[in-house]
Chains A and B, each alone.
Chain A
């Protein structure tokens, strides 16, 4: 029998050598796989330095013949340590601890990212890996990825008994030494004197020592950064290194229990003994968190620091339910972090020998437990749990301010490094310990920080400083802060995006010649009397309408939507940016666009008197506003007029106007009322949220007054037809693409959501709230009135809105048809189609509709369920964040408008705690907490809290839920932080 043994010597091409690697990997299911992979080692991977002339010929070319030019500069920047200039070769730890440093605009250029390092970063943290990849694409930063494991000279085989980390460290060192000698040869060949140093950056002492032994130039992160100009600022961006953490470990005692191992947690969750869910902290009580787990209807309660065991709001945690004797009712007390822990010292926390729970916190909790045992309040005690491990951290960057008291007063001007507390804007996030050399400068500023770690020996998470946004309370800093806090992409559009715009710019016009390719498949609707109705001052006009009476007595109604998909082609840079942004964000004084201005406010915007491309939905409606037929077509329209809601209302009401356009609007008005009546009869909800408008001074845009928004019939007119268009399009898209239509649904809220509110209404007002169906809810909401107080109904609606689920985008293939239902609108199927300028979902719906009517083929990304799901997930988050950012902006401006004023207004009690109550002031749409302690001038007042009757008595006063009372509104600068807050007090 002939031998099948083969020799490795015979290789396909002379420039490569074959090697192989074998490794084991564990799958999520617990299965272990053995992976065998080939490796082709080669000698034609360039060093990519502009100094080197031999590597230039090696530069690889793709199929299209494009060659990548050398990345690394011939004259890299020098520092005090390396005056001849230097290339950086960071190891994995350097990237893990100091990614912010590498991302800093003015530091760390000419960096060689080794393949070994890239791979390790990917293993350790996917988000950091993506940030690193983004850096390598940033031309100005000159990051070059060197595939050292594919180059023959730098490839390292793992030795017997060597750990994978040691092998990787050795690979890094070998690559450094190769680069060093390679560059020397290159410099010699050029006969220039200056040879840049190849500096290995590491945080690992052992690795550094070995590098020095090998005669390499190596530096610790801290040492390296200290040699840079502006070292103080840059040093703060480096997370505390492992060294520092190691030395601290020895003396510190563990204050938190240890986490369970990942495999133990997974088995526990699978077996049902442990539970997994997202940790969310109560906005009123920072010591109490809740987690919704699939096994229980009601959320599990996590009380106190020890039980929440280093979980931060938003983390995905694993819980163990506590024994029944520790179950309790949800907190009825307001506890804010800065009240209890004001005097803690950030610098030396181990001296305060109180362990993880401070004495004050313990007392606060104790009172809670006592009451929970004392009587069965607000229903039964609920299961409590403790965190035994974290599956996934969802830490992001946090905006906050430095706690003044944590800064050593004598050190305010000094440059010495000290540890300070940063108080995040988001109350649910604990204080963050940050080491900084610029504490003095940062006081009174908005700062951006990130959390690095939360070790067992530290009461608070440890983070590092990223940058300062500016003075507290200045408009710029506060706006940027809230954009960052809600993760809104607000940077100007990059050039690659602007390159996708039509070359004609503002001069772009609908081609006059109807033979032009732009006209292909478009209907000429220019002779229709179309008009748009929008809020005053609106420049991004998405939609326009028309109606006319047909000879048969029916009406032709058209909704014309800006044809954004004509300008934004799938998968180009502009489309990618838009899908990332997801939505336009409206702040009080600012709009952060999803699409560049040129499109949003000009080319796509359906401005009056000019021709524009549109996507039209045309219906024939009969006298009862029932749809006879619907057609969808791309079109060209010319809007006759752009009305504001008010002006449109005036025009309709003005009987002297009898022109055709006004007649059309009257038809629309009549039909919209019928549509609305039908929708209401079907059980659509009329919910309310407190909306206010800021009146600003035109010159300075300083807020001068706050008004609640007025709703006119014309608002409803536009809304009705937009809903009709959305529903029609949803049906069409779904029938064309049953698996991949992008739709929007609103799930019916679980019954338990309404229990509390229903009970409150019953006890206080003897009203019944039914929530069996949206119709029942809508009807019972109508009956929830208080004859003496017209606002009471709105208040109930606001509260009911908060019990709802939030609507979400989804891909039709992921849900069964009955789940498509939009609860609030009482529609079987729904999507967003009518605002493509400001919502990405609408743009996708446009593309699907265009394909459904055979106007153009559907792009591949819209046929892939997984891609669409990712898009939906992102736009859902963006949508919510945009709303939150908008609300936060209004809040800030309301605060500014009230600055320095003292007003007395009507308020309503929305919620009662045992030591305070929440009052809602409809005039300004603000909600504020009134604490008994403040009423008593700083001392706790004797009070009786009746959880069953929802009342709180103190002194002679008794406050009840839903009670209308007079409150004084003033603003107050907090002493510790200089932060302005609205303060409510009883009159």
Chain B
């Protein structure tokens, strides 16, 4: 065997810097960064810009660590699903042990640094969030119950609470309203994805609602959760995080979201397959705009409040 032969084999498997970055789920991280930033800026305590930047950075790194540990644990099912089979571990670019080491190292680093840069409460909440996502959701619930998304979705809802804690060091009702918004938004968002990713979860044996209760039941669940979400989102408009701007944004988006959920509920698989799940895909895209616009409106209200405007008083 020649040296060139050995090097070629190793070269194909050698991970790039970008492969390690992909382990951190950058797209999920953008949601974490934005919602944590809103939590931090909506808090009634001014934060030094550098401390605020560090807080958001370490919350994002904590989210990334959760992503890496989730990819390490779920590498077997990621290799089966179309949506995930190009991830660094199933693609053979990063060794599972390396992904786990990166996840653990970043988790420890992010929690320690957040606690040092801001306060212990924020660090502890970040540690709990990582634990919740990796152990409660990934290791336990995801493969055990069709309610995996409902309970596990809480992990993605913690960032605004951590952002608020980083700024204030104390708890209040407002960050939990933001938490509730993401918590109620996650099931319809994810179930819409499950509907048009068709056989992915079936093949992987993950007990998604589409697999255990069927597609009509999933469509009904999307509608029920969307109604509950709309009530919560519009109701939040009259609380401390809301105001006229938020309420207008929320009314428009919830009307569109409810209309989308109704359309999904009325359809069956024959109709959905005929247009390649166009309604479900549109609903999924709208769900992304829905969350970003709601948190954007909360941010606008918080910024207006600094000028004596915003809110209801």
**Mutual binders A and B:** no
B residues contacting A by CB (< 8 A) are none
Give A residues with C-beta under 8 Å from B.
Answer: none
